[in-house]
Amino acid sequence: MRAYPGLTRRLTQGPVRRLIPWARLCSRVRSCKNGAMTHNLILLRHGESEWNQKNLFTGWVDVTLTDKGRAEGQRAGELLREAELIPDVVYTSRLKRAILTSNLALEAADLSWLDVHRSWRLNERHYGALQGKNKKEIREEFGEEQFMTWRRSFDTPPPALGDASEFSQAGDPRYANLGDSLPRTECLADVIDRLLPYWYDRLVPELTVGRTVLVVAHGNSLRALVKHLDGISDADITGLNIPTGIPLHYELTEDFTPVKPGGTYLDPAAAEAAIGQVANQGR
């Protein structure tokens, strides 16, 4: 696990916290247990995309939602409203499946007016040369072990994607500022490296001042964040799957560790069934 001790000290002990009165902080969060403040973080994987439906490796390819995915986005907003878990601010990736899901969820929750921020750091893992390939066909061609290594290994990326590929992001204006840093392939460790600075610099400050944060992103960018929050080992993270369209609520302590490891899905039964479907992709 990559460590950011300096950032942690700065954000938990710096002036931003001292400027916010304790009573105001407690009024903005879900609870103050025994005088200890807790923070609310909501994670939401986008609804089913067209390439989820076709069982294709998607990565940074910008595909849209299916009708089922749109319904999942709307249902996510209804679940937030039913749980009275109302975000103050929203963060998404720069991919339309996450953007559309956040729009649908916010509309269903009557929260379309909320501030929304987008960053490539929340993008899905870049699947390299696998992008656009059928998962079942890759498994049959290369075998179960290689398929699972490319799909779920913590630190082994797939082969890099050439810039001439129709599925490349080279030349995409939304990533023009990345220059040579634009990924051509990634493993989960790479996703963690690009995501954690954003967690500390953008998301933690929002939580620190008592704002409920909704992050609408992707299977692997959310797995990276959950790995960090729950302290999941490099080996065990391979078994974690996150379903589409079901909000996952984390209540965090003052030092941003989960009150309940693993968080709480707002529809546990649907989440359990969907997790099994994600695990079986490619079969």
**Average pLDDT of 241-263?**
97
Residue 272 annotated among the catalytic residues of the structure: no
At residue 224, does pLDDT exceed 60? Answer: yes
Nearest in space to 256 (alpha carbons), one of 175, 174, 200, 218: 200
User: What digits encode the pLDDT tens for the residues 128-182?
Assistant: 999 999 999 999 999 999 999 999 889 999 999 999 999 999 999 999 999 999 9
CATH topology for 36-55+63-126+187-280? Rossmann fold (3.40.50)
Residue 46 annotated among the catalytic residues of the structure: yes
Query: 39, 46, 218, 249: which is the annotated catalytic residue?
Result: 46
Query: 124, 186, 206, 249: which is the annotated catalytic residue?
Result: 124
Residue 173: predicted pLDDT: 96
User: What digits encode the pLDDT tens for the residues 75-102?
Assistant: 999 999 999 999 999 999 999 999 999 9
126 is in an annotated binding site: yes
Residue 275: predicted pLDDT: 86
Residue 7: predicted pLDDT: 41
Task: Give 88-119 as a DSSP string.
Answer: SEEEE-SSHHHHHHHHHHHHHTT-TTSEEEE-
Residue 29 pLDDT level (bands cut at 50, 70, 90): very low
Radius of gyration of the chain measured on its C-alpha atoms: 19
Residue 25: predicted pLDDT: 38
Q: What 3-state class would DSSP assign to 127?
A: coil
**Average pLDDT of 268-280?**
81
59 is in an annotated binding site: yes
51 is in an annotated binding site: yes
**Average pLDDT of 216-245?**
97
Residue 281 pLDDT level (bands cut at 50, 70, 90): low
Q: Which residues neighbour 221 within 8 Å (Cβ) at sequence distance 6 or greater?
A: 93, 121, 122, 123, 124, 125, 191, 195
282 is in an annotated binding site: no
Residue 276: predicted pLDDT: 72
Q: Tell me what percent of the residues of the chain surpass a pLDDT of 90.
A: 82
Residue 20 pLDDT level (bands cut at 50, 70, 90): very low
